[in-house]
Structure 1
């Protein structure tokens, strides 16, 4: 089996490459330099089709993320996804696995969100991800299968200065964590290794075709709950300041991921065991 992974040097892509490289032939796509398993691409359709030659499965992770002030910041996501799909069809790829996002949902009156409800993204990033989903459906009519994962907030070790990164760094250094805002919104966090496990599960097994799955933890936590659990795991209990005199600017963001469980995939990590694994990895570096 041959698998190509776009966004191969990102958080999920690099971990997926690590998991696959000793099991099958894997081609990681990057805008950087070539290596033994990394292939330079400008993500044009011609470049992609060449790399996808004789590939069985394409895992499409590459995307521009962030907030952005208008759609022009994210239109490249739709163009890139369409190029991936066109190139996959040209190269006779069997299946594309597309990483979408919890950001395609927004109706707080209908949480936890399920796959068959009407989506209504409230960010330009979310709009670009649902556009990618529709493109998968359109191009599947040309004979290519797809699987879509709507992924929750990925918990892992990054250098992106995200809230969880800051909390983990502070707790590891036995410093005070500061939580700002009323901390009422509950959000769906999923550990990076479970995300990779889901992708590997989909790569190697023949499931129902052309499916959309929520990929979350079936749990949700406030920022304050996350901070307290991080402190507990890193033995930094009580070293926390909670500034609840302002709005946190968040709303509930939770998915029902039971469809994926019914299909046969089971999570390995909850929040506590994920944080414990992160601590072990940090200490073993």
Structure 2
């Protein structure tokens, strides 16, 4: 694969700021109009899903926008209908849900690693398009993004995480095993697309060799697919502070203050 030129930081930050301002408008439109929006983030390990979600939500209201990243299912959840535990996290009116991985776990890691039976896998491929059509028919706006990254770039990012104590937690034995199962994951992804890339809920592929470009492209595309508009908000005025009425603050020695760690830092 030809190396992708990294988007210059100045260009990236300027456009990201503009897009994040539009995301705030989208959020207010969703809230005011009672819209239900679900955005699915899928893709290879280290493809940039998490960092993109972080930029999407950076200036948004967590009461309106929720990130859902479910852990391994419990013993009880394993006996439920597969989609059941995802249904309870779907948005109500005026909410946006971002799925950091989703029900597509069954078509990816569960399929490749043998965590589900062939029967369960085939049932998923049959039921998933039906499930998503039901969501769309009920008025849910569903957007699905697949973050694509090359094997060489994925390995580079893995090595960088291994060397960085602040990011090492992002790596798990399962992540590292994905290197040796690259082609298995590729075949699983191709079969998943074959069955679930439907007109009502198509897959959108995000080229993620350059994370900056991936974030910009994904956010811009999401905004282009939703018919939002700026919602006029009531004008707010900062009131005049009233005159003091004799309140006196308690002595400092009556409260326990956090030590001034910053005082010992060199300037």
Greater share of residues in strand? 1
Give the TM-score range, shorter chain.
0.3 to 0.5
Greater share of residues in helix? 2
Larger-Rg structure = 2
TM-score by length of 1: 0.31
